[in-house]
Structure 1
Amino acid sequence: MSGMAGRIVLFGAGNMGGAMLTGWLKAGVEGARIVVIDPGPSATMAARIAEAGAVHVTAAPDGLIADILFLAVKPQVMDAVLPPLKPLVGKDSVVVSVAAGKTISSMERHLGEAGMVRAMPNTPAMVGRGITGAYANARVSEAQRAQVHELLKVSGPVEWVATESDIDAVTAVSGSGPAYVFYLVECLGEAGRKAGLPADLAMRLARETVAGAGELLYQSPDDAATLRKNVTSPGGTTAAALSVLMAEEGMQPLFDKAVAAARNRAEELAK
């Protein structure tokens, strides 16, 4: 990976941390530059760490200063696990957190003042098709931001936001968004069952339809509205369904409420 140097410390090698590590290695980051801190990685992840030539330790080693410290643990445990990591953070370190709802100020209470980035990836990062929203505080240099961008983009596009509070909205849209799509598949499959199809067939149709539509959206230069219109013949079956979904009480106000609820919860978690 061009433009990258220094020691990367990854704290947490679970689903998200493991996905990031895998992406870094595929992108050409030298395993010897990576230190993974995790008390109990899975057997698969432990083998991957060893094969890459990365260092695996169960606790922060003495004398190590991280150039970039990635925090990939659940927000509920952050207050407990951060204090022992403070010796890893030097004056030129940058800390990157992917824990939802944990503010920069809350991390600074444990780690001291430092360059910090709050990042919000989503679970499609596990297959290299995620998207990440990120915010950097004023202590992050342009060079550090560029390095963090390179490390985050291995799982998909990175979008930088102007204010830290914007991360709560990112969380509500793309961070939690995959669950909304998975629930759409559940609802569409159940509707198909109620329309008379065998339940397993209805679910297969729903799953492949949503997955295929997503891939078409990914590959097409057209926006979502154009693709929707391309499927919709005037007076046809799709138009009949959309007359329900796009009604005044249809999907848009429901999504407005859902995203607002997720953002409000993210703000509550940050307090």
Structure 2
Amino acid sequence: MERIVVVGAGHMGSVIAGGLVDGVPRAEVVVVEPSAERRPALDGRVEVTATYEPGPDDLLVLAIPPQAFDSFADGLPPGACARATVVSVMAGVRLETLASALGTDRVLRAMPNLASRVGQSMTVLCPGDQVPAGGVDRAKGALSVIGEVLAVQDESLLDAATAVAGSGPALVAYLAQSFADFSRAAGFAPADALLLTSQVLRGTADVLSEPGATPESLYRQASTPNGTTAAGIATLREHRVGESVRAALEATTERARELAG
């Protein structure tokens, strides 16, 4: 039986552990959580321990805060991760740092997002050069329980992934607030305004998932000459909304690089 160990029972660790229990029923799922306050939340669903007890060929998912990584690595017995495949969802901790601290070259970095809690994460995964294809497949299989997984070979892309996938839901929500505010000001009840906004976002995402669809093809298809949508698109261009969004993504990417050192 495959053994998957999730270190950290915070938001992301709990979501991943819960998804594994439901989505990979044949796996043995163990959660390592030093905090006695957090452990009871998962009791009854998975095995929860205070410390990591290495097992042969573990898939080890590190879902702890980056600032807790050094303490975790220092507390491991010598060679504890030598046979493990390690997947880190810690923002900003580079593959080289992971490999050096854990004593294994079988390390991967992953960037999930907050949509993981509804099984709709867009997770970007980057394996180290020494990770075999089977290790990448194991990591993708485990992370697929929280949504889509995209594997890339260039670690520098994870900074942009932090902007688009990691921070993306918050940036989209910020824009969605304007839709909801407008709807309420027009007379819709708050709950109805949120329904209008969320369904528009959901439907748009589904249409963009159709074969051959692109954002440009969608808004051009919806924009008849001199029509209502065309007026809206023209106003967005006049106010340089596209440039503002790209600037926000560039700022987020640059901050990700700074945090990673």
TM-score, scaled relative to structure 2: 0.87
Distance 1:154 1:88 in 2: 29
Kept in 1: contact 2:110–2:123 (CA 8 A) = yes
Cα deviation, 1:192-227, whole Å, max 9, x if unaligned, reads: 345x43562544432332233334434676333222
Cross-structure match for 1:21: 17
Which residue is 2:249 aligned to? 259
2:162 counterpart residue number: 171
Number of the residue aligned with 2:31: 36
CA distance in 2, matches of 1:150, 1:20: 12
Q: Is the 8 A contact 1:119 1:133 kept in 2?
A: yes
Contact 1:8 1:35 in 2 (8 A): yes
Deviation for aligned residue 1:237: 1.1
User: Which residue of 2 is the match for residue 52 of structure 1?
Assistant: none
1:168, CA displacement in angstroms? 0.7
Structure 2 distance, partners of 1:156, 1:262, is 23
Rounded to whole Å, the distance in 2 between the matches of 1:132 and 1:116 is 16
Unaligned regions of 5+ residues in structure 2, if any?
none
* Unpaired runs of at least 5, structure 1: 50-54
How many Å apart are 1:72 and its aligned residue? 0.8
Maintained 8 Å contact 1:60/1:88: no
3-state secondary structure, aligned to 1:157: strand
Q: How does 1:226-265 map to 2 (within 5 A)?
A: 226-247=217-238, 249-265=239-255
Match of 2:122 in 1: 131
- Residue 46 (structure 1) aligns with: 43
CA contact (8 A) 1:72 1:97 kept: yes
Q: Given that residues 89 and 114 in structure 1 are in contact (C-alpha distance below 8 angstroms), is that contact kept between their aligned partners in structure 2?
A: no
Change (3 A) 1:77 1:209: same
What is the SS of the residue equivalent to 1:69?
A: strand
Partner Cα distance (1:233, 1:47) in 2: 56
Cα deviation digits, residues 207-250 of structure 1 (max 9, x gap): 33223333443467633322223322221111101101134x52
CA, structure 1 residues 204+142, in 2 after alignment: closer, same or farther (shift >3 Å)?
Answer: closer
Query: Quick one: structure 1 residues 233 and 239, their matched pair in 2 at CA, closer, same or farther if it must change by over 3 Å?
Result: same
Equivalences, count: 258
1:181 has 2:181 as partner? no
* Alpha carbons 2:39, 2:48 under 8 Å: kept: no
Percent of aligned pairs with the same amino acid: 31
In structure 1, what residue type is equivalent to 2:252? A
Q: Determine if the alignment matches structure 1 residue 209 to structure 2 residue 205.
A: no
